[in-house]
Amino acid sequence: MQIKNIVLGLAVACVAQASQCEQSAANGKVLLQASTRARNLQRGAVVSEGTAAATDLMYTQVKTMATDIMKAKREPSAEEMKWLDSIQSYIEQNQTTAMMQGHKDDQELMDNAVAGLVGCETDLQTDTASVASKKQGATQLGDDHALCRSEESALETDASSKWSALTSVYDNLQAPQAPNFSFDLTGDDYLAQINEFSSKMDLFLAESNEFAKAVNQSYTTAKNAYEKAAAALLQKQGTCNNTQIAFESSFCHWADEARSAGDRHEQCWERGTNSFDVTKSAVLDSAEQRKHEYSAVQKILCFLKMLRERQQ
């Protein structure tokens, strides 16, 4: 209805000022276009160069009318004032609100662009804490593995020592010597010689039996000690192999997570800065257009005020 009134007012002005009819018809078309763009802007459309251009044309038309009235040294007609009032109402209810909304929308865009960069830093802090935790876990597993291998080395030394003790049981054995005895069958003491030989053999066999028992006991003791040491070493080797697997897996996981965190932040920051730069450029351009449009609107209002004062 408001647009219809503006165009109707312009048509009435045409009747009153036939010489300006063609120009005033152009005014009505411009105002109609400007009003349509303003409504689009209120629905969330971005301020465009076309909107600013329409405002410039509106300003030109109002200025032309004001100039004609001033040159003719006359008061604006009632229909002209009705048309000018419609313009002022349109500006106050549409364009001013749209410009303010455009500013809020641009501020929201910038806030979102900045929030994207802040989000990159927040994610990096979260990732950094996660990576630090994984590093701490990997370091602890590395320390555990190093301790295990140290204990394994001690057990290996002990098993080697036990093996040396076992093999040394048979080294440099001093077994009892068998009696060296010869018989003289030509003498009368043949029986005495046999008895003497028998006594020496009994002693040799007794010493040999004790020697065998001692060697067997030493061997058994050394063998048991070695087997116990070897079993402990084997068990420790299995444990240490498992701790090594756990440590290497944890270390690789930490290293991969650290690299991934760096890559994620780099990609996030690149996307964020690109988005920020594009948004900033668009918002600055929009702001310049709004400033230009605001200046034109203020000039239009100034002309309207001047014409209204002239009518009085």
User: What is the per-residue pLDDT across 167-223, written as a single tens digit (0 to 9) for each?
Assistant: 888 887 788 888 887 777 666 777 788 888 888 888 888 888 888 888 889 899 999
**pLDDT at 13 > cutoff 50:** no
Question: What mean pLDDT is reported for the chain?
Answer: 81
| Tokens 């420790």 belong to residue | 236
* Mean pLDDT calculated for residue range 4-25: 36
**pLDDT at 44 > cutoff 50:** no
Whole-number Å distance between alpha carbons of 114 and 108: 10
**Residue 22, both tokens:** 């063609």
At residue 196, what is the residue type? Answer: E
CA 75, 81, 87, 92: dihedral to nearest 10 degrees? 100
Whole-number Å distance between alpha carbons of 309 and 265: 63
User: 79-110, pLDDT tens digit by residue?
Assistant: 888 888 888 888 888 888 888 899 999 999 99
* Mean pLDDT calculated for residue range 227-253: 96
Q: Taking the complete model, does pTM exceed 0.75, yes or no?
A: no
8-state DSSP, 171 = T
* Mean pLDDT calculated for residue range 252-281: 95
Question: 20 pLDDT band (50/70/90 cuts)?
Answer: very low
Among 56, 65, 60, residue whose Cα is nearest residue 37: 56
CA 50, 55, 56, 58: dihedral to nearest 10 degrees? 130
Q: Are 243 and 141 in contact (CB under 8 A)?
A: yes
Backbone torsions φ then ψ of 171, nearest 5 degrees: -85, 135
